[in-house]
Amino acid sequence: MTAFNKANLRSNAAPEITLLLIEPTGSRRDITTDNLSPDFTQHMRKQTFLTCLGTRPEIIKMAPVYKALQAQGNRVQIIHTGQHEAVAHELYRFFEMPPDLVIDLQRKSSTLAHLTSALTDGLEAAMRTLQPDVVMVQGDTTSAFIGALIGYYDDIPVAHIEAGLRTHERDPFPEEKNREMIGRLARWHFPPTDQARRNLLAENIPPDQIHQVGNTVIDAALWTRDRLHKTFGQDNPALPSVAQVFLKKHADDRLILITAHRRENWGQPIRQIAQAAAAILTDHPDTVVIWPVHPNPAVRLDVENEIAKLPQSVQRRFCLTAPLEYPALIDLLVRCHFTLTDSGGIQEEASAFAKPVLVARNSTERQELVDVGGARLVGTDIDQIRFHAGLLLSNADIYRQMQVTQSPFGDGLSAQRIAAILSSSNALTTHDGASLAN
């Protein structure tokens, strides 16, 4: 990283950041801006839409927008900012959306300040290389915030996908402030729900810049389900082998999918979730659990220790796996009877398949699902989890009541709406002198 001093702040020299071009063969070529040929720069200038992605949720939720814009004949390119490097490229391959540039962050610290500084240098150099007409960011990550900020600095209009989510509290940190600040930088705001739209209006965002479209996570989940069914049927190779064997052995049993990853649930809360799951299986012998456990060794040990206390007849109905790839997670959501989770994304995805959700938290930013009856807030209290799970397993009327016929987060057409708005003749203009129409 460049050491910041007064000389550097006044200089127009390129930062010491590496940009890697992804070749058609999959190899990476260093194309830092000082080494770019005029022909390459002119070719890249044809680019219209640019999206900055670095984490698993961003890739999943932006994939439908990428496909919808391409289907309309637009150009879409991707800068991969590299936070979730281990899982990102598998997702890019699955959604058939290879990144065009990769920022080699070369992180020397885990602090947010260091990440912010590295992303600022990297995205500034990348946008100078690609010269997009519109920058698209998704959600509330640091890469989304910095992407919006650099777009604003370079006078490139910014489109914010999944805008307007608020807790009106400090947490989640730093996401709550990231999404608030993106709200001050964006030109197009795409809130998924009416509550998100009202949050933006309360912050004095002009109404003509707000377009309620639903959440693209529903588009991605439905597309993934259909692709898996068409390609693999019931034999999804993305499922870990231990899960495949487990499902075949318990083909006639009802499946509960459990996930718990939030830091506030580590320790005693996650032990209570495991104890509650054990109680549910004891109460309902025709029920099994698949639990992709967080990779933190302490978390996994807590879960394993609780299960080890159980009789073998109950232990055999637990299947613990490593964290799942996205296609495997969607497969299990389609198969499961209901899910017990602390994940906001899974609350949304489960609603796409009319699966009841027990939320292992005391509050949720996805309150819309609670309001329509598709989710219950049960926290990590053993008795609450056991009681509500018991109702879902023993009372068909209550189960049907929690099967929402229409997800409050979307109908699978959100990306098409976004693409139509961004592609409309009176919405899109370049940033090199033309005025931006409403």
- List, by residue number, the catalytic residues: 140, 162, 175, 261, 263, 294
- The 8-class DSSP code of residue 263 comes to G
Length of the chain: 438
Residue corresponding to tokens 């390119």: 77
Q: Which two tokens stand for residue 188?
A: 């197009």
188 DSSP assignment: E
Distances (CA, A) of 276 to 272, 280, 295, 383: 6, 6, 21, 7
CA distances from 59 to 195, 236, 326, 350 (A): 24, 21, 11, 18
The two tokens of residue 29 are 């070529």
User: What is the signed CA dihedral for 220, 53, 343, 308, rounded to 10 degrees?
Assistant: 110
Pairing of strands 188-190, 18-22: unpaired
The three-class DSSP label of residue 297 is helix
| 388-395 CB contacts, 8 Å cutoff, 24+ apart | 388/358, 389/256, 389/276, 389/280, 389/338, 389/340, 389/358, 390/280, 390/283, 390/284, 392/337, 392/338, 392/356, 392/358, 393/254, 393/280, 393/283, 393/284, 393/287, 393/337, 394/284
Determine contact, residues 357/251, Cβ cutoff 8 Å: no
Phi, psi of 251 (to 5 degrees): -60, -30
Pairing status of strand 101-104 against strand 318-321: unpaired
How far is residue 68's CA from residue 413's CA, in Å, rounded to a whole number? 10
